[in-house]
Each structure stands twice: as structure tokens, then as C-alpha cells.
Amino acid sequence: MSTSGGVVRRSLLDDLATSMLALIADRKLSSGDQFESVRSLADRFKVAVPTVREALRRLEATGAVELRHGSGVYVGQHIGRLVLANPLAPTPSSDRLIELLQARALIEPPVAALAARVRTEAALERMDSDLATAAELVESGDHAQLAEVNMDFHRSLAQASGNATLAEVVESVTVVNVREQLEILHIHGDRQTDLDEHRAIYAAVVAGDPELAERLTREHLDGVLAVINNRLQHP
């Protein structure tokens, strides 16, 4: 075969994966919808079952589809996303952790500023809800859950910017590994302070004050970073 000019060597698998995505798009399926059974896909595309499965595994790896044993193939949570957190990423080292937080401290403040300008309704409600949940968890002392919800707050904040790509970027850098690592390192500042800072950021966004939202977010993340740097030096 030729595949002239280009360099592409589209294997059967490449075509399959693309075709299946196209099929999902054609049917206007979205996250959570059931797709087709493996056998049915094999018949439809006139290929063997293991081949379909390989293609599905590829899609599955980026959250485009989800395979549920005994149940079926479903459209995944991350279909259509441009930016992803690497689902196979190793637990980051201390250095990488700090680097990750520095990246957040650089990216999130301007995102907060944009959020204060745009203020997507649904995201505002989510932020409010996150804060309420966090308040309860501060009381009950469930620190693992609390760390999770705090991350949710940052993600909701990014969603309030109305820019899906920014939301995806922020989501990617706030992914679970961070929480795990923080817990492992026993790093945490005053939890009430965190909550207060989040509340202040929320207030600035609701008030539509970009400069304040940006400054507060920067101070908040720099604070977290300072605490962590401190802990790493005095383990």
C-alpha cells in the first residue's frame, strides 16, 4: 500500500477507534450513555472481538469510554476533552509536587480573575455547595474528604471562568495524586484558614472583583506552597 505524501500508517485499530468515536458522535451520545456491546461492534465493523477490545482499551485510557463487566460499554466522562491528567501518572516525588503547586500558583490566579468577570451561574452554585460541604467536614474532622472537597472548590472556581479548556487544565493539575501526596506527607496548614480563604475568594468572585479574586487566589496558593516547603525542610 502507499499512503502517499504523508507518513501515516493507519492500522485497522486506528480506523476502528476513530470509527467508534464517530459512531458515538453520530448518535449524539454523551457521558454515561450506554454504547454498544463488544460483540455487536465486532459484527458491525467486521473485525474480531480482541481487535475491538484493543480499540476500546485505547478509548478507555483517556476516558472516552468505560467498560463495565457484565453490563456493557458506556460513554466515558472525559470524551471530547482537549487536556487530560495522565491517568497512568506515577505518584509524584516531593520535587514534582512542589513544581505542580508552583504551576497552580501561576495558572489559577488569572483564572480566578476571569471567573470574577464571567461568573458562570452553575459553577457559582457549585462553589457555594463546596464551601458548605467543606465547613461540615472541618467540623467533623474528616480530613481526607476535606482535602478532596477543597480541590473541588478550585475546580469549580475554574469552571466559573466559562472557559472549558481552562477548567480542564485546572482539573488536570488538581487531580487526586496531590491529595494523596499531601496526606502522605502529613502536610496541612490550618484547615479553618483554608476555608476562610476559599470563602474570601468566593466572595470576590460573586462581587465581580477580578483583581481581588486574583490576589486572594495567589496568596492562598502561595500560602499552601510556603507551608509545604516548610514541612519538607522540617520533616
Partner DNA sequence: AATGACCAAGTGATCTGATCATTTTCATTC
Partner DNA sequence: GAATGAAAATGATCAGATCACTTGGTCATT
Contact map string, positions 92 to 111, toward its own copies, x by CB under 8 A: x---x--xx-xx--xx--xx
> Applying CB under 7 A, does 46 fall inside the site for DNA?
yes
Closest to 29 in 3D by CA, of 93, 90, 73 = 73
Q: Which stretch binds DNA (CB under 7 A): 50-58, 78-86, 172-180, 195-203?
A: 50-58
Residue 180 class from Cβ within 10 Å (0-12 exposed, 13-18 middle, 19+ buried)?
Answer: middle
For the record, the C-alpha cell of 167 comes out as 477548567
Contact map string, positions 53 to 72, toward DNA, x by CB under 7 A: xx------------xxxxxx
Contact map string, positions 4 to 33, toward DNA, x by CB under 7 A: -----x-xxx--------------------
* CA gap 150, 97 in Å, rounded: 17
Cα 52 versus chain centre, distance: 28
* CA gap 67, 59 in Å, rounded: 10
Q: Which of its own copies, DNA, none interacts with 12 (beta carbon under 5 to 8 A by kind)?
A: DNA
Give residue for cell 481526607: 144
Q: Which of DNA, its own copies, none interacts with 39 (beta carbon under 5 to 8 A by kind)?
A: DNA
Helix/strand/coil (H/E/C) assignment for every residue in 121-158: HHHHHHHHHHHHHHHHHHHHCCHHHHHHHHHHHHHHHH
Q: How far is the CB of 201 from its own copies (least distance, A)?
A: 17
Who's near 168: CB < 8 A, 6+ residues apart?
Answer: 81, 82, 83, 84
What residues make contact with DNA under the rule CB under 7 A?
1, 9, 11-13, 36-40, 46-51, 53-54, 67-73
What residues make contact with its own copies under the rule CB under 8 A?
9, 11, 13, 17, 21, 25, 50, 53-55, 57-62, 64, 69, 78, 80-90, 92, 96, 99-100, 102-103, 106-107, 110-111, 114, 163-166, 169, 172-173, 175, 177
